[in-house]
Amino acid sequence: MEHLHVLSHSALTPIYVGFHRMQKRLSILIGIMGDWAAFIGAVLILGLASSWYMIDVGTRLTTEQHGPWVGWSSAGRIDADPYTRAHFARLGTLQLTSEIALSFLAFKDSEGNRLHSSCDYAVEGRDTSNTWWSLTVFNDRGDLIANAAQRYTYTSQSVALRPDGTFAVTLAREANPGNWLPTGGAGRLALMYTTFDVRGSLLNEGTPEPRELPVIRRVQCR
């Protein structure tokens, strides 16, 4: 065994030396480049991540958030900020100016859980007179969900109201009585609420009473 070890050691010596030299050079290189690598890494992470967050998620500077609903304050406007422009360019939608219509998207229910077709939801709100609104369900990529009933949306003109002026729209796989929007097996869902509220606009500055958006309540999950 001893003999074998000596032979083995002498045979591997050039490799060890080479490896040692390489390790030494690498550590010198890391020493020189370490600061710069950390600098570039930090700049990339901070710069790109903050840009992504501002474009994709938005902040109170650029969005109006009402529970799970997020609307971009200057959507479609000629004086829109760069984040809003980038957001809708990436989303690929044609936005009506927020001076005419307000569109809100929700990917979560009112308790903060992701909307999913494996659950049933009740979307409850109040119909306001002289205001046109619509509620549409999509999958999270913005595609309509195919269903035999061909129901994808309810508007203020098609929704069945309760006597007190409130409404409830059920999102569910199975057929439900009343206002039912089928969700099929779409997976993750997105809800869009659009309102033509030029009188008491949520996004208008100086509005005394912001209008309440519908509540998205999870009923049950399978």
Partner 1 sequence: MKYANLVKNINWQLLLAVPVAAGILHICATLAAPHLTAASAYSRLAPALPTNRMQVLNVTSPGAEPLPFLSPDARYAMCLFDTSAGPVSVASTLPPDIGWTLTVMTPQGDNIYGAASVAARPTPISLVLVPSEEAFLGVTPEARGIARDAQQPTILAATKGIIVVRGPDKGFSYQRHVEAVLKDAHCTARSF
Interaction site with partner 1 (CB under 8 A): 35-36, 38-39, 42-44, 46-48, 50-52, 54-55, 76-78, 80, 82-83, 85-86, 88-97, 99-101, 105, 130-132, 134, 136, 138, 141-146, 150, 152-153, 155, 157-158, 190, 192, 194, 196, 198
Nearest to residue 99, comparing CAs of 203, 206, 211, 210?
203
Q: Helix (H, G, I), strand (E, B), or coil: what is residue 203?
A: coil
Query: Closer CB to partner 1, residue 12 or residue 33?
Result: 33
Here the tokens at position 18 are 């080479």
Give long-range contacts, CB 8 A cutoff, 24+ apart: 14-21.
none
Q: How far apart are CA 118 and CA 172, in angstroms?
A: 8
| CB 1, min distance to partner 1, A | 44
Query: Closer CB to partner 1, residue 17 or residue 89?
Result: 89
Query: Closer CB to partner 1, residue 15 or residue 197?
Result: 197
The answer to whether the CB of 151 falls within 8 A of the CB of 118 is no
| CB 12, min distance to partner 1, A | 36
| CB 173, min distance to partner 1, A | 16
| CB 67, min distance to partner 1, A | 19
Query: Closer CB to partner 1, residue 42 or residue 221?
Result: 42
Query: Closer CB to partner 1, residue 85 or residue 188?
Result: 85
| CB 27, min distance to partner 1, A | 15
Q: Judging by beta carbons within 10 Å of its beta carbon (0-12, 13-18, 19+), is residue 45 exposed, middle or buried?
A: exposed
The answer to whether the CB of 154 falls within 8 A of the CB of 104 is no
Query: Closer CB to partner 1, residue 13 or residue 97?
Result: 97
Q: How long a stretch of residues is the chain? A: 222
The string over 117-144, giving b where at least 16 C-beta atoms fall within 10 Å of a residue's C-beta and e elsewhere, is: bebbbbbbbeebeeeebbbbbbbeeeee
| CB 5, min distance to partner 1, A | 40
Here the tokens at position 59 are 């902040």
